[in-house]
Amino acid sequence: MATLELIHVTKRFGKKVVAVDDFSLRVEDGEFLVLLGPSGCGKTTTLRMIAGLEEVTEGRILIDGEDVTDLPPRKRNVSMVFQNYAVWPHMTVYDNIAYPLRLKRVDKKTIDETVREAARMTKIEELLDRYPSQLSGGQQQRVAVARALAVKPKLFLMDEPLSNLDAKLRVATRTELKAIHEKTGATTIFVTHDQSEAMSLADRIVIMRDGKIEQIGTPDDVYHRSASIFVADFIGTPPTNFIDVEVQVRDDQIHLVNPYFDFPLNPENAAKLRDYPKRELILGVRPENIVLVSEDEAIFSTQCLVSEPQGSHQIIAIELDGKIIKIVAPAYPKVRSGETIHLNFKQEAIAFFDKDTGRRIE
Amino acid sequence: MSTRRQWLKILRGAQMMLFYLVVITLVFVIIGPVFFVVSLSFLSAREAYSYPLPLLPALTVRYQLTHGERGYMLSVYDRVEKEYIPVLDTDDLEKMATYMRSRLGTSVTVQDIEAQIARLQQEDPVYFTKRANLLHNYTTFFQITRDAVPSLIRSLQICALTILISLSIGGMAGYAFARYQFAGRDLLKFSALFVRMFPGIAIALPMVIILAKMGFYDRPIGLSLVYAVGNIALTVWITASIFMGIPESLEEAAEVFGATRLQAFLRITLPLALPGLAAAAMYAFLGAWNETVAALILTQFNPTFSVVVYQSLVGATGQINLAAAGGIVMAIPTVTFTYFIRRYIRQMWGGVTL
Amino acid sequence: MTAQRKSAHLGKRITPYLLVIPVFIYYLIFWVQPVLQQVIRSFLDPTTGQLSLESYRLVLTDPDFIPALRNTAIIVVISVTMEFFIALFLALIIKRDFWGASIFLFLAMLPMALPPVAVGAMWKTGLTTNGWLNSLLHYVGFLPEGEKIYWLAGSTWKMLALIIIIDAWQVIPSVMIILLAGLQNIPKELEEAGYVFGGNYFTVLRKITLPLLRPTIQTAVVLRLIAAIQIWLIVIVLVGFSRLPVLVERIVYYHEEVPRLNISPQMAAGYTMIVTVIVSLAALIYLRLSGAFSRREGG
Ligand SMILES: Nc1ncnc2c1ncn2[C@@H]1O[C@H](COP(=O)(O)OP(=O)(O)O)[C@@H](O)[C@H]1O
Ligand SMILES: [Mg+2]
């Protein structure tokens, strides 16, 4: 297995389009790394540069410390699962898996063993003699994975391999991919725009925006310590709530003030804002960190707009400053629309963001 | 490490240069012959028959005039020999002017020549330069070939009719091919091969009688009916391919919202297919416009433009520079259309294979 | 209700037939009818109107028949092979989408746009001793002063080579565009997967691109094959009738050049039938050999 380093990698299409902008990253041996971001942010381009399918405009790419920036794909010893699978329609499933090995001049017996092993792992042993046109989308996806596994690559690249599957199959396959990774320990770069997929699979997540890295971190990092409004908004369903607040210092305490509430910060949070020069900032609170409390513990009270029971919990929507704020609350007691509720923030889990840069204030 | 990168860069640069070298060579092979015909169409009659043939037409013609045995001796500067060559010795100024116009491609009047002769009093010989009339061959072609303009109009009619017939009949079948499964679908597909298997020239003869019976012989409609045979077959393929490229679900969506199948086709599919169909029409135009052999057999007093060009080439009055001009005129629409068609190659040919 | 539904169903079922019937009627009148007339004529004695195989006997004993067959065969085999490879080469170049590819495509299509008669004339004027080809060679210093190449004189082989090259110049574009469309239709990921999994340009071309292109290749080649067997115009433009007999040139010869000979109608009819049979057989054999009838991938 292998490590991967991208050093100040930039990709421009023509003069104007900057698809990937000064991208630096180190992927450790055996790591499962997810590239996450909205469509068009440059994930595919990054992956294709790693594979060697796209020329790098600036910067360098190292695999196992060796500079592969100018090597053609075949000399990089990586394998890839394409978004539309790219299973060769004129070859049987067996040949699809075997062909890359034949290209590498592996002997016949080893090829046969490897193909069967990969087919067993991906549960497509009965399909080996079929042509791709006789397979369902999910089965083609497995063939693509089996083909990528069989070559025992240094790097395993996957470009939204689950996005063409239906919701149920997607979740099931996700678990299997994770299991396969545990077994093989292959260094994996996995591209997706689905944050829940990223959270459930990744050792680390790289969140991209407009070709740049917005944050790198474990699923916990990006969820609980989102580096920016963009990340806090992108990760989690429902996403983080953002509330405009003013900072006021009264009686030696730092207060967050808003037409709806005015409350003092606890010492840890206050420490973060002690030296903050601006008076206005954005408060970020995840829906589960707004809690229903009794009237005297509340920092503000309002009416419930709608409530959506979810079985294990309920999602309550309120209106604040013209914006919808969502709250995840325990399933009981049931809150009805129009009912007045009393709310407080879990201070240990709130975050502050700069109004201009959108970055987190530490 | 960085030297390796440099080497790779140099290698890639060399590859690139080799690639463009191949491309440029190919371009020369392709347009070289065409270049000579274009150039030929601008040459004067005298230069068109000289060797080596000038690569580019002269913009000006240099003359020398002196007294000759029969009157005045006209010489013209030869670009290859690099000297003045005597070409005409006469006292008939009218003849000399005509000669300078038709053979040497310069617009000269008798007055012009008289003015030069007047100069002979002071200096002998006199030298003078005339601007070459580059379009001389083109104007002459239309002047001396009596049929040129009517035949041009006729050819346009034939093309329009051919397009109309093959695109309507072939287009319907192409649509059926793209959207439905039906008995005879393969037969329709293979008909593009069948109709080409029988030599066209052998069909032309019995067609004379068939068309004569219908009263279409020697008329534009007659030829377009013949041209449409081969064209329909291709049009079926091309239109089928174009319609296949337009998702059926777009039509179905319209049907869901209350359109009939026909309305859905007219309002949704047809507008989307229009550019491709235009390219298909142009493709049909190429065939009908360029065809000469059937036109020779199936016309008598009303030839097509291609026949006129052909005859200017083989006929007794044939001059290669004039024929070249005719050929260039003929190529103008086809080349223009090709420029357009090239963007629709995938749409036209991508859908249907055997 | 059910009756209405039935008629709607029926409507759906007959729509395609309504749409294709005009084509078949058209073929019947303007293709089947003249073809049948010619076929029948080839089996009749023109003077007595009796059934006769005289046309075929005449053709098969014609001293020009074997040379015509041989010349045609040589031209077809070499042209189709060569044109296919050059067209494929051009299509692969254009598919690389380099700077200038679109203009190059236009230029590569140019010969197809020009009228065949004019193209014939273009080469004819080029190949005469004072023609532009010699002029060009003179300008680039290949032909010294006073020396000339006599292109149109010489052996049959030289003529065949010239005809093949000149014909190729004009018809390659029509093969190329079909191949290009096929190439553009191959999802680029299929080839990219080949590169990622260890293939270089040529292995990917051989093992992935060309196999996927096979239906397109069959289409382009069979269309070209059918046309190539029927070559004649360029032959008579360059060398005239009878000097280099080819099959369809013989038909034209008896139709147009010597239509008043006693044997002319029968010769023409006989040659026509023989050409038709040869073309059909060649197409059929090619499609069978290339596996067009037994495609198993099944779309
Ligand atoms: N071949 C290309 N030519 C020009 N622009 C491209 C090309 N490929 C991608 N882009 C642009 O680069 C940006 C990133 O694309 P991509 O990497 O495909 O995004 P993602 O995979 O994250 O959706 C997009 O703005 C896209 O339009
Ligand atoms: Mg993508």
Could you read off the pLDDT of A87-129 as tens digits, one per residue? 999 999 999 999 999 998 999 999 999 999 999 989 999 999 9
The CATH architecture annotation of domain C55-117+155-289 reads: Orthogonal Bundle (1.10)
Domain count along chain B: 3
From the CA of A3, how far away is ligand 2's center (Å)?
23
- Is A121 a pocket residue for ligand 1 (Cβ < 6 Å)? no
Distance from B1 to chain A by nearest Cα, in Å? Answer: 8
The pLDDT assigned to C299 comes to 36
Q: Do B290 and C114 touch (CB under 8 A)?
A: yes
Q: What is the 3-state secondary structure (H, E, C) of A221-257?
A: HHHHCCCEHHHHHHCCCCCCEEEEEEEEEECCEEEEE
Nearest to A213, CA basis, from A5, A8, A32: A8
Mutate to test the pocket of ligand 1, among A11, A15, A17 (most ligand atoms within 8 A of CB): A17
- Can you give the pLDDT at residue B318? 65
Tell me the shortest Cα–Cα distance from C122 to chain B, in angstroms.
6
Entry pTM: 0.91
* Same domain membership, residue B111 and residue B32: no
Look at A69 and B5 and tell me if their CB atoms are within 8 Å. yes
- Using a CB-CB distance cutoff of 8 angstroms, which residues of chain C are in contact with residue B325? none
* Atom number in ligand 1 closest to CA A48: 17
CB contact under 8 Å between B290 and C20, yes or no, is no
Q: Which residues surround ligand 2, an ion (CB under 5 A)?
A: A 44
Query: DSSP secondary structure string, B196-237?
Result: HHS-HHHHHHHHHHHHHHHT-TTSHHHHHHHHHHHHHHHHHH
Strand order across the beta sheet in which A340-345 lies: A290-292, A340-345, A300-303
Q: Is B51 within the bounds of a domain?
A: no
Closest CA of chain C from A209, distance in Å: 25
Q: What stretches of A55-205 show up as alpha helix (H) in DSSP?
A: 93-103, 108-121, 137-150, 167-184, 195-201
List of domains in chain A:
4-234 (3.40.50.300), 241-353 (2.40.50.140)
Question: How far off is chain A from C83, nearest CA to CA, in Å?
Answer: 26
The verdict on a CB contact (< 8 Å) between A88 and C187 is: no
pLDDT per residue over C101-123, tens digit each? 999 999 999 999 998 888 888 88
Residue B240 shares a structural domain with residue B313: yes
Give the domain-ending residue among B133, B168, B184: B133
Contact (CB<8Å) A131/C298: yes
- pLDDT band of residue B52 (cuts 50, 70, 90) is confident
Residue B199 has pLDDT above 70, yes or no: yes
The pLDDT tens digits for A194-233 are 999 999 999 999 999 999 999 999 999 999 999 999 999 9
Atom 17 of ligand 1 has which residue's CA nearest to it? A42
Q: Residue B177 has which token pair?
A: 């091919």
Q: Would the CB atoms of C181 and B323 count as touching at under 8 Å?
A: no
Mean pLDDT, all residues of chain C: 90
Distance, C-alpha A154 to centroid of its chain = 22
Task: Read off the tokens for A222.
Answer: 């990006």
Determine phi and psi for A34, rounding to 5 degrees: -110, 130
Handedness of CA A275, A279, A285, A291 (dihedral sign): positive
Decide if pLDDT at A130 tops 60: yes
Same domain, B97 and B245: no
Within a domain: B52:
no
* Same domain assignment for residues B169 and B268: yes
User: Which of B92, B114, B133 is the endpoint of a domain?
Assistant: B133
DSSP 8-state secondary structure symbol assigned to residue A1 = -
In 3-state terms, what secondary structure has residue B279? helix
Predicted local distance difference test score (pLDDT) of residue C296: 45
**Does residue B53 sit within a domain?**
no
pLDDT at C3 over 70: no
Question: Does the pLDDT value for residue C298 go beyond 80?
Answer: no
Q: What mean pLDDT is reported for chain B? A: 90
Query: Is the residue at B220 inside a domain?
Result: yes
Within chain A, what is the greatest distance between any pair of CA atoms?
81
Same domain, B27 and B122: no
pLDDT tens per residue, range A47-66: 999 999 999 999 999 999 99
Edge-to-edge strand list for the sheet holding A306-309: A306-309, A313-320, A323-330
Residue B88 is assigned to a structural domain of this protein: yes
Residues B220 and B269 in one domain: yes
Distances (CA, A) of B241 to A236, B210, B312, C161, C216: 46, 33, 40, 36, 13
Instruction: Look at residue B121 in the predicted model and tell me its pLDDT.
Output: 86
pLDDT(C295) > 70 = no
What residues pair up with A34 in beta bridges, in sequence order?
Answer: A190, A205
Instruction: State the pLDDT at residue A30.
Output: 93
Q: CATH 1.10.3720.10 in chain C: give the residue spans.
A: 55-117+155-289
pLDDT > 70 in chain C, percent? 95
Q: What mean pLDDT comes out for the span A7-16?
A: 94
Q: What interface predicted TM-score (ipTM) does this complex get?
A: 0.91
Whether B147 and B128 share a structural domain: no
pLDDT band of C297, cuts 50, 70, 90: very low
Within a domain: B218:
yes
Let me know if residue B354 belongs to a domain: no
Cα distance between residue C104 and residue C98, in whole Å: 10
Q: Are strands A253-258 and A204-209 parallel, antiparallel or unpaired?
A: unpaired
Q: Does C59 or C2 have the greater pLDDT score?
A: C59
Residue B185 class from Cβ within 10 Å (0-12 exposed, 13-18 middle, 19+ buried)?
Answer: middle
What range does the domain containing B343 cover? 142-348
Q: Is A100 on the interface with C (CB under 8 A)?
A: yes
Distance, CA of B273 to CA of B270 (rounded, Å): 5
Distance A43 CA to ligand 2 centre (A): 6
| Ligand 1 proximity of A39 Cβ (cutoff 6 Å) | yes
Domain boundary among B81, B104, B133: B133
Nearest chain C residue to A78, by CA: C196
Token reading at C251:
């038909």
Do B30 and B67 fall into the same domain? Answer: no
Q: Determine the pLDDT at residue C1.
A: 46
